[in-house]
Amino acid sequence: MKQGQKRNNAIQSCMLFEGIEPEKSEQLLKEKAQCRTFQKGECIYTPEHFEKSLGILIKGRAVVEKEGGVLLNELSSGCCFGAAALFTEQERYVTTVWAKTACEVCFLSMEAMEQIMQDDAKIALNYIRFLSGRIQFLNRKIDSFTAPDAEQALLSYLGQQPQGRVEGISMVKLCEILNIGRTSLYRVMQQLEDSGKIKREGKTIWLLSGKEETK
């Protein structure tokens, strides 16, 4: 697939432009957005260094983490970040966003977003829907951290990860995230794997849909 087509696909898959004519969304970005590239491992936003802008990932993958390296989300082309902080007075960003691969990001400033949403009610509605979805996502996160037992905590955490999959995480880090002991974690992981609810390979864990046989 050509680079231009990949860029167009990323723009059209962005929540902000759902239901918007492709030519209009591409023109809006061309006129309103500032696009930048980031190298693998480079920070895009940190709590101390961020912009009052909505970031749209055009190319590559990025990771969203809380303090201490707790994984919140993994972003691919078409995904957005910075929406919740766009119209607030906070002087710190609540997460760190860094490039997992080389990335291209288009930034729409607060002023640009105000103008775009005033001009097109459908874009404003898309933005509201996105924020509503984030609230639901965060509520599910809270549920996972306050789960009644270790098994439910692990299942809830995996259920919030992209494709129900977490990679490159140590047992020590997972214990910190779930606030459970190592003995309990090892026990429930074995139980869940035996029952076909999860699959493990090294430091990668999958949440399986239904009872699937591990291969």
Long-range CB contacts for residues 49-53, cutoff 8 Å, separation at least 24: 50/82, 50/85, 50/93, 51/82, 51/107, 51/109, 52/85, 52/86, 52/109, 52/110, 53/82, 53/86, 53/107, 53/108, 53/109, 53/110
- Per-residue pLDDT, averaged over 129-155, amounts to 76
Q: What percent of the chain has pLDDT over 90?
A: 48
pLDDT by residue (tens digit) across 38-60? 999 999 999 999 989 999 999 99
- The answer to whether the pTM exceeds 0.85 is no
| 170 and 213 Cβ atoms separated by less than 8 Å | no
What is the model's pLDDT at position 71? 84
